Structure 1
Protein backbone atom coordinates (compact mmCIF):
# COMPACT_ATOMS: atom_id res chain seq x y z
CA UNK A 1 0.00 0.00 0.00
CA UNK A 2 1.25 3.48 -0.82
CA UNK A 3 1.86 5.44 2.36
CA UNK A 4 1.64 9.12 3.17
CA UNK A 5 5.43 9.24 3.21
CA UNK A 6 5.57 7.87 -0.34
CA UNK A 7 2.69 9.71 -1.99
CA UNK A 8 1.43 12.69 0.03
CA UNK A 9 3.92 13.52 2.81
CA UNK A 10 2.30 15.34 5.70
CA UNK A 11 3.71 17.21 8.68
CA UNK A 12 2.08 18.44 11.86
CA UNK A 13 1.25 22.10 11.28
CA UNK A 14 -0.89 23.40 14.15
CA UNK A 15 -3.19 22.48 17.01
CA UNK A 16 -6.63 23.61 18.09
CA UNK A 17 -6.78 23.56 21.87
CA UNK A 18 -9.87 24.12 24.00
CA UNK A 19 -9.41 25.85 27.35
CA UNK A 20 -11.45 26.93 30.35
CA UNK A 21 -8.89 29.70 30.78
CA UNK A 22 -8.00 30.81 27.26
CA UNK A 23 -6.54 34.16 28.34
CA UNK A 24 -4.02 32.50 30.65
CA UNK A 25 -3.13 29.94 28.00
CA UNK A 26 -2.60 32.60 25.35
CA UNK A 27 -0.38 34.64 27.67
CA UNK A 28 1.78 31.57 28.28
CA UNK A 29 2.27 30.81 24.57
CA UNK A 30 2.89 34.45 23.80
CA UNK A 31 5.50 34.82 26.55
CA UNK A 32 7.18 31.44 26.34
CA UNK A 33 6.88 30.42 22.64
CA UNK A 34 6.83 33.83 20.91
CA UNK A 35 3.35 33.31 19.47
CA UNK A 36 1.31 36.35 18.47
CA UNK A 37 -2.48 36.57 18.09
CA UNK A 38 -3.78 37.25 14.58
CA UNK A 39 -7.37 37.96 13.48
CA UNK A 40 -9.74 35.00 13.14
CA UNK A 41 -13.08 34.95 11.35
CA UNK A 42 -14.49 32.34 13.74
CA UNK A 43 -15.99 33.73 16.91
CA UNK A 44 -14.39 32.33 20.07
CA UNK A 45 -11.18 31.25 18.33
CA UNK A 46 -7.86 33.06 18.67
CA UNK A 47 -5.18 32.14 16.16
CA UNK A 48 -1.62 32.42 17.45
CA UNK A 49 1.34 32.10 15.11
CA UNK A 50 5.10 32.19 15.45
CA UNK A 51 8.18 30.88 13.65
CA UNK A 52 7.15 27.46 12.24
CA UNK A 53 4.54 26.91 14.96
CA UNK A 54 0.92 27.86 15.58
CA UNK A 55 -2.07 27.08 17.76
CA UNK A 56 -5.73 27.97 17.71
CA UNK A 57 -7.06 28.64 21.22
CA UNK A 58 -10.80 28.18 21.71
CA UNK A 59 -12.94 28.72 24.78
CA UNK A 60 -14.30 25.56 26.41
CA UNK A 61 -17.99 25.33 25.61
CA UNK A 62 -20.48 23.02 23.91
CA UNK A 63 -19.59 22.31 20.30
CA UNK A 64 -15.92 23.21 20.62
CA UNK A 65 -13.46 20.37 20.25
CA UNK A 66 -9.70 20.17 19.89
CA UNK A 67 -8.09 18.93 16.71
CA UNK A 68 -4.64 18.18 15.35
CA UNK A 69 -3.84 19.65 11.94
CA UNK A 70 -1.40 18.24 9.37
CA UNK A 71 -0.24 20.01 6.24
CA UNK A 72 0.25 18.48 2.80
CA UNK A 73 2.04 20.12 -0.11
CA UNK A 74 -0.79 21.27 -2.36
CA UNK A 75 -4.40 20.82 -3.46
CA UNK A 76 -3.50 17.76 -5.55
CA UNK A 77 -2.04 16.00 -2.52
CA UNK A 78 -5.10 16.90 -0.44
CA UNK A 79 -7.33 15.47 -3.17
CA UNK A 80 -5.32 12.24 -3.19
CA UNK A 81 -5.72 11.95 0.58
CA UNK A 82 -9.47 12.56 0.32
CA UNK A 83 -9.67 9.83 -2.33
CA UNK A 84 -7.74 7.44 -0.06
CA UNK A 85 -10.16 8.10 2.82
CA UNK A 86 -13.16 7.62 0.52
CA UNK A 87 -11.87 4.28 -0.81
CA UNK A 88 -11.24 3.10 2.75
CA UNK A 89 -14.67 4.22 3.97
CA UNK A 90 -13.42 6.90 6.36
CA UNK A 91 -16.07 9.64 6.64
CA UNK A 92 -14.73 13.19 6.37
CA UNK A 93 -16.05 16.71 5.95
CA UNK A 94 -14.73 19.94 4.53
CA UNK A 95 -13.73 22.46 7.17
CA UNK A 96 -12.82 26.14 7.19
CA UNK A 97 -9.49 26.48 9.01
CA UNK A 98 -7.82 29.91 9.23
CA UNK A 99 -4.36 28.43 8.77
CA UNK A 100 -5.33 26.28 5.78
CA UNK A 101 -6.55 28.78 3.16
CA UNK A 102 -5.86 26.17 0.50
CA UNK A 103 -8.69 23.99 1.84
CA UNK A 104 -8.97 21.34 4.53
CA UNK A 105 -10.78 18.16 5.54
CA UNK A 106 -11.56 16.79 8.99
CA UNK A 107 -12.15 13.21 10.16
CA UNK A 108 -12.21 11.31 13.45
CA UNK A 109 -10.24 8.29 14.59
CA UNK A 110 -12.04 5.28 16.17
CA UNK A 111 -11.98 6.92 19.61
CA UNK A 112 -13.26 10.30 18.50
CA UNK A 113 -10.09 12.36 18.20
CA UNK A 114 -10.34 14.92 15.42
CA UNK A 115 -7.67 15.28 12.73
CA UNK A 116 -7.50 17.93 10.02
CA UNK A 117 -5.44 17.81 6.83
CA UNK A 118 -5.01 20.85 4.63
CA UNK A 119 -2.78 23.04 2.50
CA UNK A 120 -1.01 25.57 4.67
CA UNK A 121 -0.01 29.15 4.34
CA UNK A 122 3.53 30.00 5.40
CA UNK A 123 3.80 30.71 9.14
CA UNK A 124 5.86 33.81 9.83
CA UNK A 125 7.30 35.10 13.07
CA UNK A 126 10.41 35.94 15.03
CA UNK A 127 11.68 33.88 17.92
CA UNK A 128 13.75 30.95 19.09
CA UNK A 129 13.80 27.93 16.74
CA UNK A 130 11.22 25.27 17.59
CA UNK A 131 9.10 23.76 14.81
CA UNK A 132 5.85 22.06 15.81
CA UNK A 133 6.66 18.47 14.88
CA UNK A 134 4.58 15.71 16.51
CA UNK A 135 1.73 14.93 18.85
CA UNK A 136 1.16 11.90 21.09
CA UNK A 137 -1.82 10.29 22.84
CA UNK A 138 -2.54 7.68 25.46
CA UNK A 139 -5.14 5.12 24.41
CA UNK A 140 -6.99 2.13 25.82
CA UNK A 141 -7.27 0.62 22.30
CA UNK A 142 -3.75 0.73 20.91
CA UNK A 143 -4.22 -1.99 18.26
CA UNK A 144 -7.45 -0.46 16.97
CA UNK A 145 -6.14 3.08 16.57
CA UNK A 146 -2.86 1.82 15.07
CA UNK A 147 -4.74 -0.18 12.42
CA UNK A 148 -6.82 2.89 11.59
CA UNK A 149 -3.88 5.23 11.05
CA UNK A 150 -1.81 2.66 9.15
CA UNK A 151 -4.44 0.92 7.03
CA UNK A 152 -6.91 3.76 6.52
CA UNK A 153 -4.92 7.01 6.62
CA UNK A 154 -1.51 5.80 5.44
CA UNK A 155 0.88 6.38 8.33
CA UNK A 156 3.87 4.03 8.66
CA UNK A 157 5.11 2.32 11.81
CA UNK A 158 8.67 3.42 12.59
CA UNK A 159 9.14 1.70 15.96
CA UNK A 160 7.20 -0.33 18.52
CA UNK A 161 7.91 -0.74 22.23
CA UNK A 162 7.07 -4.27 23.42
CA UNK A 163 6.54 -5.59 26.95
CA UNK A 164 8.01 -8.88 28.21
CA UNK A 165 4.74 -10.70 27.47
CA UNK A 166 4.83 -9.60 23.84
CA UNK A 167 2.24 -6.83 24.23
CA UNK A 168 2.89 -3.73 22.15
CA UNK A 169 2.94 -0.74 24.52
CA UNK A 170 3.92 2.17 22.25
CA UNK A 171 3.69 2.75 18.49
CA UNK A 172 5.58 5.54 16.72
CA UNK A 173 4.07 6.54 13.35
CA UNK A 174 5.48 8.66 10.56
CA UNK A 175 3.81 10.58 7.73
CA UNK A 176 6.98 11.94 6.13
CA UNK A 177 10.72 11.24 6.48
CA UNK A 178 10.89 12.10 10.19
CA UNK A 179 10.79 9.23 12.66
CA UNK A 180 7.34 10.10 14.00
CA UNK A 181 4.74 12.80 13.61
CA UNK A 182 2.20 10.84 15.69
CA UNK A 183 2.48 8.24 18.45
CA UNK A 184 0.26 6.28 20.82
CA UNK A 185 1.00 4.87 24.28
CA UNK A 186 -1.11 2.08 25.75
CA UNK A 187 -2.65 3.46 28.94
CA UNK A 188 -5.59 3.37 31.30
CA UNK A 189 -6.98 6.63 29.92
CA UNK A 190 -7.78 8.14 26.54
CA UNK A 191 -6.09 11.50 26.65
CA UNK A 192 -3.73 13.88 24.92
CA UNK A 193 -0.24 12.99 26.10
CA UNK A 194 1.96 15.77 24.71
CA UNK A 195 3.01 17.75 21.67
CA UNK A 196 6.57 18.42 20.54
CA UNK A 197 8.66 21.24 19.08
CA UNK A 198 11.77 20.24 17.11
CA UNK A 199 14.75 22.57 17.48
CA UNK A 200 17.89 22.76 15.37
CA UNK A 201 20.55 21.45 17.77
CA UNK A 202 21.53 20.65 21.35
CA UNK A 203 22.36 24.30 22.11
CA UNK A 204 18.74 25.17 21.33
CA UNK A 205 17.60 22.64 23.95
CA UNK A 206 19.90 24.43 26.41
CA UNK A 207 18.50 27.83 25.49
CA UNK A 208 14.87 26.69 25.82
CA UNK A 209 15.72 25.16 29.19
CA UNK A 210 17.21 28.45 30.32
CA UNK A 211 14.10 30.30 29.13
CA UNK A 212 11.74 28.10 31.13
CA UNK A 213 14.03 28.23 34.14
CA UNK A 214 14.03 32.03 34.08
CA UNK A 215 10.23 31.97 34.04
CA UNK A 216 10.20 29.40 36.88
CA UNK A 217 8.50 26.79 34.69
CA UNK A 218 10.01 23.49 35.88
CA UNK A 219 11.14 20.65 33.65
CA UNK A 220 9.21 17.52 34.69
CA UNK A 221 10.88 14.95 32.37
CA UNK A 222 14.41 15.12 31.04
CA UNK A 223 16.73 16.30 29.79
CA UNK A 224 17.49 13.00 28.18
CA UNK A 225 17.58 11.01 24.96
CA UNK A 226 14.81 8.76 23.68
CA UNK A 227 15.65 5.35 22.25
CA UNK A 228 13.02 5.36 19.45
CA UNK A 229 13.80 8.41 17.35
CA UNK A 230 17.19 8.96 19.08
CA UNK A 231 16.22 12.56 19.89
CA UNK A 232 17.38 14.75 22.76
CA UNK A 233 14.47 16.18 24.76
CA UNK A 234 12.91 17.71 27.83
CA UNK A 235 9.26 18.35 28.81
CA UNK A 236 7.34 21.11 30.59
CA UNK A 237 3.63 21.86 31.08
CA UNK A 238 1.49 24.87 30.18
CA UNK A 239 -1.07 26.47 32.58
CA UNK A 240 -3.77 23.96 31.52
CA UNK A 241 -1.48 21.01 32.25
CA UNK A 242 -0.83 20.26 28.57
CA UNK A 243 2.63 18.77 28.13
CA UNK A 244 5.18 20.32 25.76
CA UNK A 245 8.30 18.53 24.58
CA UNK A 246 11.37 20.26 23.12
CA UNK A 247 13.50 18.01 20.93
CA UNK A 248 16.61 17.95 18.76
CA UNK A 249 18.24 15.50 16.35
CA UNK A 250 15.12 13.45 15.63
CA UNK A 251 15.99 10.51 13.37
CA UNK A 252 14.97 10.44 9.73
CA UNK A 253 13.67 7.17 8.26
CA UNK A 254 13.55 5.90 4.67
CA UNK A 255 10.22 4.77 3.23
CA UNK A 256 11.34 1.13 2.97
CA UNK A 257 12.71 0.83 6.53
CA UNK A 258 11.40 -2.05 8.63
CA UNK A 259 9.81 -1.14 11.99
CA UNK A 260 12.17 -1.32 14.96
CA UNK A 261 11.30 -3.16 18.19
CA UNK A 262 12.32 -1.85 21.61
CA UNK A 263 11.87 -3.37 25.09
CA UNK A 264 9.46 -1.70 27.51
CA UNK A 265 11.86 -0.23 30.05
CA UNK A 266 13.06 3.10 31.34
CA UNK A 267 16.18 3.13 29.15
CA UNK A 268 14.04 2.86 26.01
CA UNK A 269 12.19 6.05 26.93
CA UNK A 270 15.28 7.77 28.30
CA UNK A 271 18.70 6.25 27.65
CA UNK A 272 20.23 8.79 30.04
CA UNK A 273 18.34 7.64 33.11
CA UNK A 274 14.91 7.81 34.74
CA UNK A 275 11.81 7.85 32.52
CA UNK A 276 8.16 8.84 32.74
CA UNK A 277 6.37 5.53 32.19
CA UNK A 278 2.65 5.84 31.41
CA UNK A 279 0.19 3.63 33.21
Structure 2
Protein backbone atom coordinates (compact mmCIF):
# COMPACT_ATOMS: atom_id res chain seq x y z
CA UNK A 1 0.00 0.00 0.00
CA UNK A 2 1.30 3.44 -0.95
CA UNK A 3 2.20 5.62 2.06
CA UNK A 4 1.86 9.37 1.56
CA UNK A 5 2.39 12.34 3.82
CA UNK A 6 -0.76 14.08 2.50
CA UNK A 7 -3.75 12.12 3.79
CA UNK A 8 -6.89 13.81 2.45
CA UNK A 9 -8.66 16.90 1.15
CA UNK A 10 -10.04 19.24 3.85
CA UNK A 11 -11.61 22.36 2.34
CA UNK A 12 -11.62 24.85 -0.51
CA UNK A 13 -11.45 28.62 0.02
CA UNK A 14 -12.73 30.98 -2.66
CA UNK A 15 -12.88 34.75 -2.91
CA UNK A 16 -15.99 36.17 -4.60
CA UNK A 17 -17.11 39.77 -5.17
CA UNK A 18 -20.78 38.93 -4.57
CA UNK A 19 -20.03 37.50 -1.13
CA UNK A 20 -23.49 37.86 0.42
CA UNK A 21 -25.29 36.37 -2.59
CA UNK A 22 -22.85 33.48 -2.91
CA UNK A 23 -22.99 32.67 0.80
CA UNK A 24 -26.79 32.70 0.78
CA UNK A 25 -26.86 30.41 -2.27
CA UNK A 26 -24.67 27.78 -0.63
CA UNK A 27 -26.79 27.90 2.53
CA UNK A 28 -30.30 28.14 1.10
CA UNK A 29 -29.98 26.02 -2.02
CA UNK A 30 -26.75 23.99 -2.03
CA UNK A 31 -27.30 22.57 1.45
CA UNK A 32 -24.32 23.73 3.50
CA UNK A 33 -24.57 25.04 7.07
CA UNK A 34 -23.04 28.30 8.22
CA UNK A 35 -20.54 27.69 11.00
CA UNK A 36 -19.20 31.19 11.43
CA UNK A 37 -19.54 34.45 9.56
CA UNK A 38 -18.04 37.92 9.70
CA UNK A 39 -18.57 40.87 7.40
CA UNK A 40 -16.13 39.44 4.85
CA UNK A 41 -15.69 35.73 5.69
CA UNK A 42 -18.03 32.74 5.84
CA UNK A 43 -17.15 29.20 6.93
CA UNK A 44 -19.58 26.57 5.65
CA UNK A 45 -20.06 23.05 6.97
CA UNK A 46 -21.22 19.81 5.34
CA UNK A 47 -23.47 18.09 7.88
CA UNK A 48 -22.02 14.67 7.02
CA UNK A 49 -18.37 15.67 7.36
CA UNK A 50 -16.30 15.86 10.57
CA UNK A 51 -14.11 18.55 9.01
CA UNK A 52 -14.60 21.91 10.80
CA UNK A 53 -15.77 23.32 7.44
CA UNK A 54 -15.45 22.34 3.79
CA UNK A 55 -15.90 25.71 2.07
CA UNK A 56 -14.65 29.16 2.99
CA UNK A 57 -15.91 32.23 1.15
CA UNK A 58 -14.25 35.64 1.32
CA UNK A 59 -15.44 39.02 0.05
CA UNK A 60 -12.83 40.10 -2.52
CA UNK A 61 -11.94 39.98 -6.19
CA UNK A 62 -12.72 36.54 -7.63
CA UNK A 63 -9.92 34.00 -7.13
CA UNK A 64 -8.97 30.70 -5.54
CA UNK A 65 -7.76 31.62 -2.06
CA UNK A 66 -6.45 28.16 -1.22
CA UNK A 67 -7.11 24.44 -1.13
CA UNK A 68 -6.41 22.64 2.16
CA UNK A 69 -5.25 19.09 2.84
CA UNK A 70 -4.66 17.05 5.99
CA UNK A 71 -1.74 15.03 7.29
CA UNK A 72 -1.95 12.12 9.71
CA UNK A 73 -0.04 13.81 12.52
CA UNK A 74 2.50 16.50 13.38
CA UNK A 75 5.37 14.19 12.51
CA UNK A 76 4.13 13.72 8.96
CA UNK A 77 3.45 17.43 8.65
CA UNK A 78 7.04 18.30 9.57
CA UNK A 79 8.38 15.61 7.23
CA UNK A 80 6.35 17.16 4.44
CA UNK A 81 7.52 20.69 5.27
CA UNK A 82 11.16 19.52 5.35
CA UNK A 83 10.71 17.73 2.02
CA UNK A 84 9.18 20.78 0.35
CA UNK A 85 11.92 23.06 1.72
CA UNK A 86 14.60 20.70 0.37
CA UNK A 87 12.91 20.75 -3.03
CA UNK A 88 12.83 24.54 -3.19
CA UNK A 89 9.05 24.97 -2.89
CA UNK A 90 8.04 28.54 -1.99
CA UNK A 91 6.42 28.81 1.46
CA UNK A 92 3.66 31.25 2.39
CA UNK A 93 4.26 30.53 6.07
CA UNK A 94 6.09 27.94 8.16
CA UNK A 95 4.38 25.34 10.39
CA UNK A 96 2.54 27.13 13.19
CA UNK A 97 -0.64 27.04 15.27
CA UNK A 98 -3.63 27.95 13.12
CA UNK A 99 -6.27 30.45 14.22
CA UNK A 100 -9.17 29.52 11.91
CA UNK A 101 -12.23 27.57 13.13
CA UNK A 102 -11.09 24.13 14.23
CA UNK A 103 -7.59 25.43 14.89
CA UNK A 104 -4.87 22.91 14.21
CA UNK A 105 -1.23 23.14 13.23
CA UNK A 106 -0.06 23.67 9.69
CA UNK A 107 1.72 25.56 6.93
CA UNK A 108 1.01 26.99 3.48
CA UNK A 109 2.94 26.91 0.21
CA UNK A 110 2.50 27.95 -3.40
CA UNK A 111 2.10 25.13 -5.89
CA UNK A 112 3.97 25.28 -9.19
CA UNK A 113 1.35 27.57 -10.74
CA UNK A 114 1.08 29.89 -7.74
CA UNK A 115 -2.05 28.53 -6.07
CA UNK A 116 -1.92 28.45 -2.28
CA UNK A 117 -2.07 25.05 -0.59
CA UNK A 118 -2.52 24.50 3.15
CA UNK A 119 -1.49 21.37 5.04
CA UNK A 120 -2.71 20.84 8.59
CA UNK A 121 -3.08 18.37 11.42
CA UNK A 122 -4.48 18.27 14.97
CA UNK A 123 -7.62 20.02 13.75
CA UNK A 124 -10.57 19.87 16.15
CA UNK A 125 -13.12 17.79 14.29
CA UNK A 126 -16.81 18.59 14.57
CA UNK A 127 -19.69 16.27 15.47
CA UNK A 128 -20.99 15.22 12.07
CA UNK A 129 -24.18 13.26 11.50
CA UNK A 130 -25.40 10.59 9.13
CA UNK A 131 -27.23 12.13 6.18
CA UNK A 132 -30.76 10.76 6.11
CA UNK A 133 -32.19 8.72 3.26
CA UNK A 134 -33.43 11.06 0.49
CA UNK A 135 -31.90 14.11 2.19
CA UNK A 136 -30.56 16.21 -0.71
CA UNK A 137 -27.54 17.87 0.92
CA UNK A 138 -23.78 17.22 0.58
CA UNK A 139 -22.03 14.70 2.79
CA UNK A 140 -18.56 16.15 2.22
CA UNK A 141 -16.21 17.87 -0.20
CA UNK A 142 -15.34 15.36 -2.92
CA UNK A 143 -12.67 17.01 -5.09
CA UNK A 144 -11.37 20.24 -6.60
CA UNK A 145 -10.38 20.65 -10.25
CA UNK A 146 -8.03 23.30 -11.64
CA UNK A 147 -7.54 24.58 -15.17
CA UNK A 148 -3.95 24.93 -16.30
CA UNK A 149 -2.36 26.48 -19.35
CA UNK A 150 0.31 23.75 -19.08
CA UNK A 151 -1.44 20.58 -17.92
CA UNK A 152 1.48 18.19 -17.68
CA UNK A 153 3.78 20.60 -15.87
CA UNK A 154 1.05 21.45 -13.36
CA UNK A 155 0.22 17.79 -12.69
CA UNK A 156 3.87 16.79 -12.41
CA UNK A 157 4.37 19.28 -9.57
CA UNK A 158 1.82 17.37 -7.46
CA UNK A 159 3.42 14.05 -8.36
CA UNK A 160 6.98 15.18 -7.64
CA UNK A 161 6.41 17.18 -4.47
CA UNK A 162 3.31 15.69 -2.83
CA UNK A 163 3.44 12.07 -4.10
CA UNK A 164 0.03 12.31 -5.74
CA UNK A 165 -0.60 9.62 -8.36
CA UNK A 166 -2.45 9.79 -11.66
CA UNK A 167 -5.48 7.51 -11.50
CA UNK A 168 -6.64 8.08 -15.09
CA UNK A 169 -6.32 10.63 -17.88
CA UNK A 170 -8.58 12.03 -20.59
CA UNK A 171 -7.00 12.34 -24.01
CA UNK A 172 -7.95 13.42 -27.53
CA UNK A 173 -8.18 10.84 -30.34
CA UNK A 174 -4.59 11.66 -31.33
CA UNK A 175 -3.35 11.04 -27.76
CA UNK A 176 -2.96 14.61 -26.51
CA UNK A 177 -3.62 14.86 -22.76
CA UNK A 178 -6.62 16.94 -21.72
CA UNK A 179 -7.07 16.09 -18.03
CA UNK A 180 -5.30 14.17 -15.27
CA UNK A 181 -7.10 12.80 -12.20
CA UNK A 182 -4.82 12.76 -9.15
CA UNK A 183 -5.22 10.87 -5.90
CA UNK A 184 -3.59 11.10 -2.49
CA UNK A 185 -5.49 8.14 -0.99
CA UNK A 186 -7.54 5.25 -2.45
CA UNK A 187 -10.33 7.58 -3.61
CA UNK A 188 -10.02 7.97 -7.38
CA UNK A 189 -9.17 11.66 -7.20
CA UNK A 190 -8.96 14.48 -4.68
CA UNK A 191 -7.89 16.94 -7.34
CA UNK A 192 -7.82 16.95 -11.11
CA UNK A 193 -6.13 19.27 -13.56
CA UNK A 194 -7.58 20.15 -16.95
CA UNK A 195 -5.91 21.74 -19.95
CA UNK A 196 -7.35 25.21 -20.40
CA UNK A 197 -6.52 28.60 -21.85
CA UNK A 198 -5.29 29.91 -18.49
CA UNK A 199 -4.90 29.02 -14.81
CA UNK A 200 -8.26 29.11 -13.05
CA UNK A 201 -10.81 27.14 -11.06
CA UNK A 202 -12.50 24.45 -13.15
CA UNK A 203 -14.97 23.19 -10.54
CA UNK A 204 -15.54 22.23 -6.92
CA UNK A 205 -17.38 18.94 -6.31
CA UNK A 206 -19.56 17.91 -3.37
CA UNK A 207 -20.33 14.28 -2.49
CA UNK A 208 -23.95 13.23 -1.90
CA UNK A 209 -25.13 10.23 0.17
CA UNK A 210 -26.12 8.13 -2.85
CA UNK A 211 -27.88 8.12 -6.21
CA UNK A 212 -31.30 8.95 -4.76
CA UNK A 213 -29.96 11.91 -2.78
CA UNK A 214 -27.85 13.05 -5.75
CA UNK A 215 -30.89 13.07 -8.06
CA UNK A 216 -33.08 14.82 -5.50
CA UNK A 217 -30.35 17.40 -4.94
CA UNK A 218 -30.02 17.94 -8.68
CA UNK A 219 -33.77 18.52 -8.96
CA UNK A 220 -33.70 20.88 -5.99
CA UNK A 221 -31.02 23.04 -7.58
CA UNK A 222 -32.83 23.08 -10.92
CA UNK A 223 -36.00 24.24 -9.20
CA UNK A 224 -34.05 27.05 -7.53
CA UNK A 225 -33.50 28.53 -10.99
CA UNK A 226 -29.77 27.83 -10.99
CA UNK A 227 -28.36 27.10 -14.42
CA UNK A 228 -27.22 23.53 -15.08
CA UNK A 229 -24.10 23.39 -17.26
CA UNK A 230 -23.89 19.64 -17.83
CA UNK A 231 -25.67 16.53 -16.58
CA UNK A 232 -27.13 14.58 -15.03
CA UNK A 233 -24.93 11.68 -16.08
CA UNK A 234 -22.22 9.26 -15.02
CA UNK A 235 -18.56 9.61 -15.97
CA UNK A 236 -16.45 6.63 -17.00
CA UNK A 237 -13.31 8.05 -15.39
CA UNK A 238 -13.90 7.68 -11.64
CA UNK A 239 -17.29 6.03 -12.26
CA UNK A 240 -18.98 8.91 -10.42
CA UNK A 241 -22.21 10.67 -11.25
CA UNK A 242 -22.20 14.34 -12.24
CA UNK A 243 -24.48 17.34 -12.30
CA UNK A 244 -22.69 20.64 -12.90
CA UNK A 245 -24.19 24.03 -12.08
CA UNK A 246 -23.04 27.63 -12.23
CA UNK A 247 -22.97 29.43 -8.89
CA UNK A 248 -23.97 33.12 -8.68
CA UNK A 249 -20.26 34.05 -8.80
CA UNK A 250 -19.81 32.13 -12.05
CA UNK A 251 -17.94 29.18 -10.54
CA UNK A 252 -18.79 25.67 -11.68
CA UNK A 253 -19.94 23.47 -8.80
CA UNK A 254 -20.91 19.81 -8.90
CA UNK A 255 -23.08 17.33 -7.07
CA UNK A 256 -21.56 13.84 -7.37
CA UNK A 257 -21.70 10.45 -5.72
CA UNK A 258 -20.17 6.97 -5.81
CA UNK A 259 -16.65 8.07 -6.77
CA UNK A 260 -14.54 4.95 -7.26
CA UNK A 261 -12.31 3.70 -4.43
CA UNK A 262 -9.23 1.95 -5.83
CA UNK A 263 -7.00 -0.92 -4.83
CA UNK A 264 -3.80 1.07 -5.24
CA UNK A 265 -1.62 -2.05 -5.32
CA UNK A 266 -3.30 -3.35 -8.47
CA UNK A 267 -4.64 -0.22 -10.17
CA UNK A 268 -3.27 0.77 -13.59
CA UNK A 269 -4.13 4.22 -15.01
CA UNK A 270 -6.17 4.38 -18.21
CA UNK A 271 -6.06 6.94 -21.00
CA UNK A 272 -9.65 7.46 -22.05
CA UNK A 273 -10.62 9.06 -25.36
CA UNK A 274 -12.93 12.04 -24.81
CA UNK A 275 -14.48 11.53 -28.25
CA UNK A 276 -15.97 8.26 -26.97
CA UNK A 277 -19.40 9.19 -25.64
CA UNK A 278 -19.17 6.48 -22.96
CA UNK A 279 -16.10 8.27 -21.58
CA UNK A 280 -18.13 11.43 -21.11
CA UNK A 281 -21.32 9.83 -19.83
CA UNK A 282 -21.92 6.09 -19.41
CA UNK A 283 -25.69 6.55 -19.21
CA UNK A 284 -26.18 8.83 -22.20
CA UNK A 285 -28.48 11.09 -20.19
CA UNK A 286 -26.32 14.24 -20.39
CA UNK A 287 -25.82 16.32 -23.50
CA UNK A 288 -22.66 15.56 -25.43
CA UNK A 289 -19.66 17.54 -24.17
CA UNK A 290 -19.13 20.55 -26.42
CA UNK A 291 -16.95 23.64 -26.62
CA UNK A 292 -19.87 25.63 -25.21
CA UNK A 293 -20.06 23.38 -22.14
CA UNK A 294 -16.27 23.33 -21.70
CA UNK A 295 -16.02 27.12 -21.98
CA UNK A 296 -18.12 27.65 -18.86
CA UNK A 297 -15.61 25.72 -16.79
CA UNK A 298 -12.62 27.66 -18.16
CA UNK A 299 -13.80 30.35 -15.73
CA UNK A 300 -12.14 33.74 -15.24
CA UNK A 301 -8.36 34.00 -15.08
CA UNK A 302 -7.20 33.47 -11.49
CA UNK A 303 -5.63 36.78 -10.43
CA UNK A 304 -4.46 35.36 -7.11
CA UNK A 305 -1.47 33.36 -8.34
CA UNK A 306 1.61 33.81 -6.13
CA UNK A 307 -0.39 36.25 -4.00
CA UNK A 308 -1.27 34.85 -0.58
CA UNK A 309 -4.78 35.62 0.69
CA UNK A 310 -4.89 37.87 3.77
CA UNK A 311 -6.44 35.06 5.87
TM-score (norm 2): 0.80
C-alpha RMSD over aligned residues: 2.5
Give, in angstroms, the shift of residue 149 of structure 1: 0.5
Structure 1 residues 216 and 21 mapped into 2: Cα distance closer, same or farther (>3 Å)?
Answer: same
Give the structure 1 partner of residue 113 of structure 2.
Answer: 111
Q: Counterparts of 1:83 and 1:54 in 2: how far apart (Å)?
A: 27
Match status 1:260 vs 2:274: no
Q: Is the 8 A contact 1:14 1:56 kept in 2?
A: yes
**1:29-68 alpha-carbon deviations (Å, 9 max, x no partner):** 111233333346x883222223225221111159x86111
Give, in angstroms, the shift of residue 204 of structure 1: 1.2
Q: Counterparts of 1:243 and 1:18 in 2: how far apart (Å)?
A: 14
Give the structure 2 partner of residue 197 of structure 1.
Answer: 206
* Unpaired stretches in structure 1, ≥5 consecutive residues: none
Q: Is the 8 A contact 2:6 2:69 kept in 1?
A: no
Task: List, as ranges, runs of 4+ consecutive aligned residues in structure 1 with deviation greater than 6 Å.
Answer: none
Residue pairs, 1:162-181, within 5 angstroms? 162-181=171-190
Q: Is the 8 A contact 1:49 1:125 kept in 2?
A: no
Aligned counterpart in structure 2 of residue 18 of structure 1, from 15, 19, 23: 15
Structure 1 residues 178 and 24 mapped into 2: Cα distance closer, same or farther (>3 Å)?
Answer: same
- Number of equivalences: 274
TM-score (norm 1): 0.88
Give, in angstroms, the shift of residue 169 of structure 1: 1.2
Q: Counterparts of 1:110 and 1:132 in 2: how far apart (Å)?
A: 23
Residue pairs, 1:102-141, within 5 angstroms? 102-119=104-121, 120-124=123-127, 128-141=137-150
Structure 1 residues 72 and 209 mapped into 2: Cα distance closer, same or farther (>3 Å)?
Answer: same
2:89 aligned counterpart, secondary structure: coil
